[in-house]
């Protein structure tokens, strides 16, 4: 019995040491996983901040695009008004040129007759 008790005690000691090694390995693995988790959380937090910044930039860009579209519409309307004014001016110039030509012809007809008369 004494011998069996010593053998059981030694077996328990070996089992206890194995369990301590397994427990130590599990603790080290858990610490490694915890470190990995903290690193992943830090990366995710950084990416989330980058995404928030990108979202804010997109919102600003969207507002700028809307402003530019409004400005573009105003420029288009101003250009259209300018083109209409130019067309009107060209038509007036054409009319004035025709009147000037008619006056020159009239003067050309009147001048020789007055010189002869």
Q: What is the total residue count of the chain?
A: 117
Task: For residue 1, give the 3-state DSSP assignment.
Answer: coil
What whole-number distance in Å separates Cα of residue 111 and Cα of residue 104?
10
- Per-residue pLDDT reduced to its tens digit, 83-100: 999 999 999 999 999 999
What whole-number distance in Å separates Cα of residue 60 and Cα of residue 68?
12
Q: Where are the domains of the chain?
A: 1-87
- Per-residue pLDDT reduced to its tens digit, 36-53: 999 999 999 999 999 999
Task: For residue 117, give the 3-state DSSP assignment.
Answer: coil
Q: Which two tokens stand for residue 17?
A: 């040491």
- Per-residue pLDDT reduced to its tens digit, 3-14: 999 999 999 999
Is residue 117 over pLDDT 60? no
Rg (CA), the chain: 49
Helices of type H across the chain: 2-116
């Amino acid at each position: 019995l004494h011998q069996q008790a010593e053998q059981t005690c030694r077996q328990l000691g070996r089992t206890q040491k194995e369990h301590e090694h397994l427990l130590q390995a599990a603790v080290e693995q858990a610490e490694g996983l915890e470190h990995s988790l903290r690193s992943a959380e830090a990366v995710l937090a950084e990416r989330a901040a980058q995404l928030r910044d990108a979202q804010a930039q997109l919102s600003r860009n969207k507002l700028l695009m809307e402003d530019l579209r409004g400005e573009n519409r105003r420029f288009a309307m101003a250009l259209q008004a300018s083109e209409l004014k130019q067309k009107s001016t060209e038509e007036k110039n054409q009319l004035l040129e025709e009147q000037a030509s008619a006056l020159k012809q009239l003067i050309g007809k009147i001048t020789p007759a007055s010189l002869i008369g």
